[in-house]
Amino acid sequence: MDTLAARPLAETSAPRRGGGAATIYDTLRDEIIALTLTPGTVLSRHELQERFGLSATPIRDALLKLQIEGLVDIFPQHATVVSPIDLERARQAQFLRRSVELELVRSLALQPDKAPITRLRSLIRQKETLAELQEYEAFNAADQAFHRTLYEAMGVGELYDLIKRQGAHIDRLRRLNLPVTGKMSAIIAEHGAIADAIAAGQPEAAQEALRFHLSRSLQFVDTLKERFPQYFSRPG
């Protein structure tokens, strides 16, 4: 286990009490995606019980849900460890999201109601401010809100939640790449192109802008693997 990645749980975040298995799952999932809990981090069930003030059962249930998503590896009677980034899962999640969102932006560009554009542009302005402040987690939240708005505008908000559950590995890639110089500015420009095409009623341009935006999620994988080899699963 890589010593750079295997940090004790107590060092990653302040204790938080209360809530059931769903709260534990949501909290740990967010921390794994934000790379607060990096691949290789050992999750002590005893420490989790102390942190959340809960018994072993909800802790176990939350970890099992994370295991299903491939975010933790559970070794019975030994340890639970945050899983490495799985590039095959990331590619599949990107394919799913791209397929759905291409249809979303096309439909939004064709419909006469342009009210969602106000929300999209407000989020873009918010990201501009957050980028200047280098507030990575808040920027990432606003980034996700931009895409969620596309779904909600077409009345399929629950579909966003479903797709989000499939996208944990590619979301970790995005978060790993976010501090790279120019990355946040590029995201802002790409979101602006999507919003402009929808506002102009140009479905083909909206799809082209979205396809370019989502394709960049895997564009820098080789560079990231060189910089953070301990974060990725190894073939074989």
Domain holding 169: CATH number? 1.20.120.530
* Amino acid, res. 229: P
Q: Is 97 part of any domain?
A: yes
Residue 6, pLDDT > 70, answer no
202 plus 128 within the same structural domain: yes
Q: Is 48 part of any domain?
A: yes
171 plus 221 within the same structural domain: yes
Mean pLDDT of 147-151: 97
pLDDT value of residue 18: 46
Mean pLDDT of 37-43: 96
113 plus 91 within the same structural domain: yes
Distance of alpha carbon 42 from alpha carbon 103, whole angstroms: 41
203 plus 121 within the same structural domain: yes
Structure confidence at residue 133 as a pLDDT band (50, 70, 90): very high
120 plus 193 within the same structural domain: yes
Average pLDDT of every residue of the chain = 90
- Residue ending a domain, among 82, 115, 140, is 82
Distance of alpha carbon 170 from alpha carbon 165, whole angstroms: 11
Residue from 134, 137, 130, 127 nearest 195 by CA: 127
pLDDT value of residue 220: 86
203 plus 124 within the same structural domain: yes
145 plus 192 within the same structural domain: yes
- Residue ending a domain, among 52, 82, 112, is 82
117 plus 201 within the same structural domain: yes
Backbone angles phi, psi at 75, to 5 degrees: -110, 105
pLDDT value of residue 181: 92
In the chain, beta strands by DSSP E: 42-43, 72-75, 79-82
Confidence (pTM): 0.85
Domain count, the chain: 2
117 plus 204 within the same structural domain: yes
141 plus 216 within the same structural domain: yes
Q: Is 126 part of any domain?
A: yes
Beta bridge partners of 85: 232
Residue 140, pLDDT > 70, answer yes
Residue 1, pLDDT > 80, answer no
Distance of alpha carbon 180 from alpha carbon 218, whole angstroms: 14
Residue 23 maps to which CATH number?
A: 1.10.10.10
Range of the domain at 36: 9-82
The dihedral over CA atoms of 154, 157, 158, 163, expressed in degrees to the nearest 10, equals 90
Q: Is 234 part of any domain?
A: no
pLDDT value of residue 234: 64
**pLDDT tens for residues 174-216?**
999 999 999 999 999 999 999 999 999 999 999 999 999 999 8
- Residue ending a domain, among 82, 106, 135, is 82
